[in-house]
Chain A
């Protein structure tokens, strides 16, 4: 079969089983768009801004585990995609980005719409390629998918100069079944001796805790994680990225840890004598002050990326490998072993944890006559039966979503954790809805974040992806305002906007349904009404309490046992507990 460059790319996507490609045309990719025109196996989703394309593709990947695919033109097309590429990079999301480039002979001459895309994206991709010969194109595409989706996943960019897709140059097409790269051999199974050592430590622990992260979601290790945790009766906490990998409604789950984690999760970490870290990277939002992080704990760390191990916190037993096989190896060893962790010690440990739970750190004022954002999330959980895919933007609303929507399954919670990209939520919801058309998809957002990619409401109409936008409208960049309240004596510098749009009319202008909800009593009925409109995208503008803050909070540079808690009813100040 002889194909031209554009046809080769399309054929590679078909051979790779790609369903959707999210993109936006322009001069450098017109040959490729012509090849797309001639087929309909790979469906092209025309976004309204290249950032939207990257977030939709990224969320498609988060929701399915399959790499998301993006197509953008050279110059501004590529630069607009950078935020989304960096977002995927920080959260280790498999994605393949095809960018057009000016023709090879003029590269370097400041040609029209030329930027050094390979150079600009280098620090925020797992790898990138510049295609120099059309005969290399198919193999390069295979390598891109291979690198993006194996080991620690990540975005891979393929920059394609326009002459490579010249319709008049046809070459034989062959898509390799597999590629062998001598320089790239990610680990799979872990070192047996290390695993044995780790299991011995689990058996000896008096105050153990399992701390698991996004790696369990990425590595499809939820079933194994659950089995091991329940065999051992250990408490388990998840990072923001790991939510859903262990069922949040299970008794052994003690909530998220870190800056806005629960009191019980952070105290359990701090007081533990053994941490089993699984696919988590000891991020600064999680550890707080490093010198006071878990002072008495031995740490076992399972991670596929050796560079994640002992990067910020030195660990005692490193295990490099994929979570799924390594956890399975551990389960087998525990099963074979006659030893079990001390029941007395565990009982005493659970006793302390349950006392910390009694603080009820997530409690909020349920009698308020202003809508509390937490209440909206709780009602959303009720109305969707806890089984919706939830995307979010960045800010307080993101934390309320993480704290109050109890994710029982992996890949249901889709948010930008590492880069914290405002604008992620709406295009992400579209990507998820395309992946799971029969599931409910809601985007929990704020009035500032939603405006960063609001243009994608138009894409949602064109491709009929009915999602529910839950706008927790506090008329503030709430997260920024909260920091200003705590650390800048409430000098609210530039953290609010005087001129918010009428979101109901805006939604209607885009062809959707808009609803304004101002009273707590209307929250649930509004949600029910919105979710009853199965075929419509509905924008629910909830006017929420402007002064509400996210608690608990470990302020930057403080330790796990130094949390700020919500003030007790009637008390004049926030509680500082330790």
Chain B
């Protein structure tokens, strides 16, 4: 099953490689990993998407918790949560297709943020499957480049992942 794990980790050089090294050393897979400092600059927040059966996920969270730099973590799959991913897509356009791309982007609540005579850049956020759907709706030849941030997530309700 797919799990999305949120991690608060000391914002130290090398902290990221402790996490990624753990995954490669123990043969766990990482689907995506995002990381940025939090409102407290001494802490970073990571969001990590991985897959595995319950036993593997249990080991992953235990091993992550064991890293001395990890302050706290939370498996979002265990609660109701919101997930968002950012995507930028560069799309080849012609006189004839421009209107169609624009309306498709509107349907998916995307924004056109750069225009050249032959291309659009569309910005879009949403759950990963919505971004997948947008990509699938485009014709393959029209896609010049796709950049995705990987999902980040937050639990619903009053509780927060804090120190």
Contacts and interface: CB of A to CB of B under 8 A. Distances in A.
B66 A307 contact: yes
Interface in B56-85: 58-59, 62-63, 65-66, 68-71
Interface in A122-152: 122-123, 126-127, 130, 147
B18 A126 contact: no
A119 B63 CA distance: 18
A123 B62 contact: no
Contacts of B70: 183
B17 interface: yes
A305 interface: yes
Given A147-B68, A181-B68, A307-B66, A119 B17 contact: yes
Contacts of A183: 9-10, 68-71
Contacts of B17: 119, 122
A311 interface: yes
B163 A182 contact: yes
Nearest to B66: A307
Contacts of B21: 122-123
A183 B14 CA distance: 15
Contacts of A147: 68
Contact of B68 (A127, A310, A311, A314): A127
Interface string B12-27: 0110011001000100
Interface string A289-320: 00000000000000001110011001000000
Contact of A307 (B63, B68, B69, B163): B63
B116 interface: no
Contacts of A486: none
A118 interface: yes
A182 B62 contact: no
Nearest to A151: B66
Interface string B27-69: 0000000000000000000000000000100110011011011
Name the residue in A118, A126, A127, A182 with the highest tally of chain B Cβ atoms < 10 Å from its Cβ: A182
B62 A306 contact: yes
Nearest to B63: A307
A127 B22 CA distance: 12
Contact of A311 (B18, B25, B59, B65): B59
Query: In terms of DSSP, what is the predominant structure of the interface of chain B?
Result: helix
A123 B58 contact: no
Interface in B84-140: none
Contacts of B14: 118, 122, 130
Interface string A167-195: 00000000000000111100000000000
A419 to B, nearest CB: 15
Interface residues on B, range: 20 to 34
Contact of A122 (B18, B62, B71): B18
A5 to B, nearest CB: 20
Nearest to A184: B68
Contacts of A310: 55, 58
Contacts of B66: 305-307
Given A123-B21, A306-B62, A307-B62, A314 B55 contact: yes
A290 to B, nearest CB: 12
B71 A182 contact: yes
Contact of A126 (B10, B13, B68, B163): B68
A118 B18 CA distance: 10
Name the residue in A119, A123, A183, A310 with the highest tally of chain B Cβ atoms < 10 Å from its Cβ: A183
A578 B9 CA distance: 51
Interface string A306-337: 11001100100000000000000000000000
Contacts of B68: 126-127, 147, 181, 183-184
Contacts of A311: 59
A307 B55 contact: no
Contacts of B71: 182-183
A494 B101 CA distance: 68
Nearest to A185: B71
Name the residue in B17, B66, B70 with the highest tally of chain A Cβ atoms < 10 Å from its Cβ: B66
A313 to B, nearest CB: 11
Nearest to A118: B14
Nearest to B70: A183
B25 A123 contact: yes
Interface in A380-398: none
A307 B10 CA distance: 21
Given A181-B68, A183-B70, A130 B62 contact: no
B65 A306 contact: yes
Contacts of A127: 68-69
Interface in A387-445: none
Contacts of A307: 59, 62-63, 65-66
A492 B10 CA distance: 52
A127 B63 CA distance: 13
A305 B67 CA distance: 12
B10 A130 contact: no
A310 B55 CA distance: 8
A182 B10 CA distance: 9
B22 to A, nearest CB: 8
Contacts of B69: 127, 183
B8 to A, nearest CB: 9
A306 B64 CA distance: 11
A336 B158 CA distance: 43
A118 B10 CA distance: 17
Name the residue in A181, A306, A314 with the highest tally of chain B Cβ atoms < 10 Å from its Cβ: A306
Nearest to A152: B66
Contacts of B63: 307
Nearest to B22: A123
A341 to B, nearest CB: 32
A123 B21 CA distance: 7
**10 tightest A-B CB contacts, nearest first:** A307-B62, A127-B68, A183-B71, A123-B25, A306-B62, A184-B68, A307-B66, A307-B63, A122-B21, A182-B71
23 contacts: A118-B14, A119-B17, A122-B14, A122-B17, A122-B18, A122-B21, A123-B21, A147-B68, A183-B9, A183-B10, A183-B68, A183-B69, A183-B71, A184-B68, A306-B62, A306-B65, A306-B66, A307-B59, A307-B62, A307-B66, A310-B55, A310-B58, A314-B55
Interface of B: 9-10, 13-14, 17-18, 21, 25, 55, 58-59, 62-63, 65-66, 68-71, 163
Given A130-B13, A181-B68, A184-B68, 14 more contacts: A119-B17, A122-B14, A123-B21, A123-B25, A127-B68, A127-B69, A130-B14, A183-B68, A183-B69, A306-B66, A307-B59, A307-B62, A307-B63, A310-B55
